Amino acid sequence: MDENMGIERIFKEYRLHFGLTQRAVEQLANLKENQYSRFESGRQKPKPHHIKAIAGVYGREDYQLMNPKHRKPSLKSLPLKTQQAISDIKDSGTLPKEKHDKVDLGKEIDKLIEDGNLNKPITAKKLLEFLPIAVRKEINNESRRITDLLRRPPRCNKVKIVEKPEGETGAGNWYQITE
């Protein structure tokens, strides 16, 4: 068996055992964006320091993590940051998936448009509040990501920047469907 296949399987097994998302492991191990998913999918080979960082997420040394016969730690023995991440994931209702599906923010914005949320002037920051919690977490609650999508085709053909409605105090651009 290829050594990397063993690493991928072990990473995934630990992550799913504790109910963590790929993004959570990535953040806890201080990896670059999407780096953990590349390790787990086999698209990138982790270096020894990456393995050590991922093992640290579970309060393990790299040799303990890499030994499939080594017992997984109990939830209470995990580092506090990992315990908190597991709790946050459970509280948000986000379930880790066998295969990580990226959020399609464009589709989520299109749903907001279809639901009539842009029939009246609204800011990207306010639109962010209408997105599901899992989507907001995936985009780090950054309304600029919404702004970027509203300013590009095909959405920019029907959604325009409009004047701030009278009596509103929100900062930033206001968007509305102008069909």
The CATH class of 3-92 is mainly alpha
Please state, in angstroms and as integers, the Cα–Cα distance from residue 15 to each residue in 28, 46, 75, 94, 118, following that order. 12, 16, 12, 14, 39
Instruction: Write the DSSP string, 84-132.
Output: HHHHHHHHHT----SSPPPP-HHHHHHHHHHTTTTSS-EEHHHHHTTS-
Domain ranges of the chain: 3-92, 105-177
* 69 or 124, greater pLDDT: 124
**The tokens of 56 are what?**
């640290």
pLDDT in tens, 71-117: 889 999 999 999 999 998 888 877 666 544 567 888 889 999 999 99
Question: How do 159-162 and 122-123 pair as beta strands?
Answer: unpaired
pLDDT in tens, 10-69: 998 899 999 999 999 999 999 998 899 889 888 889 999 999 999 999 999 999 988 877
* 81 or 3, greater pLDDT: 81
Q: Give the mean pLDDT of 144-161.
A: 91
Confidence (pTM): 0.53
Looking at residue 142, what is its pLDDT?
A: 84
Structure-token match 């991928």, residue found: 8
